[in-house]
Amino acid sequence: MDSQWKKMIAKVVVGFVVFVMFGYVLFNGLGRFPYDKGELEQQFLDRAKEVLLLGDEEYTLVSKEYANSVTFLLKTESDERACGTYVRNMFWQKYQESHFYSGKNGVLYQDTYSYRVNDHMLIYDMNFTFTDEPKIIPPKEVVPIMYYKYLGVCIVAMGFFGGRILANRKPIKGKNG
């Protein structure tokens, strides 16, 4: 195999690797996804203990799986509150913490609370009530974002292949040539 073929194969491999890395970052964002689904509840409780929210007292824990995320709500007997959402990787069954709010940092002083979640497939508002029976209320409206991600992949692919076609064009001979 001559060096021209080796260069072409190397360019194709490098282009493919760059394209795959771009697609991964586009679909998942940057960051690690360290948690399995089975350990999310314990991770949420450990996080609540870190902010000195959870001690030896009784608590109510509610969880809800929605789209590409798992959300938790916690309310203790002393009316301390916490909520958090973990978002799944688009390619593997691994999760990362997307949001965590607690009453200790002064955010959850009202009986209702809401925040916006981007779970890499949809954008929606997750709603919580901290009344006598705490609950997670699923969103009524969602914004699908996968269309934009697929459009981004198509634009990059078109640019890549268009660039390759233009780079391999032979120059047009002029009138004097």
- pLDDT, tens only, 16-73: 898 888 888 888 888 899 999 999 999 999 999 998 788 888 999 999 999 999 999 9
Q: What is the mean pLDDT of residues 137-155?
A: 89
Q: Are residues 10 and 89 in the same domain?
A: no
Domains identified in the chain, total number = 2
- pLDDT, tens only, 86-96: 999 999 999 99
- Is the overall model pTM greater than 0.95, yes or no? no
Q: Are residues 48 and 20 in the same domain?
A: no
Which token pair is 112? 């209702």
Q: Are residues 98 and 163 in the same domain?
A: no
Residue 176 placed within a domain: no
**Nearest-angstrom CA–CA distance, 62 and 80:** 14
- pLDDT, tens only, 96-127: 999 999 876 566 678 889 999 999 999 999 99
Q: Are residues 155 and 141 in the same domain?
A: no
Burial class of residue 171, CB neighbours in 10 A (0-12, 13-18, 19+): exposed
What is the sign of the dihedral through the CA atoms of 50, 55, 56 and 62?
Answer: negative
Residue 174 placed within a domain: no
Question: How many Cα atoms occupy the beta-carbon half-sphere of 166 within 13 Å?
Answer: 6
List the domain range (segments joined by +) for residue 100. 35-145
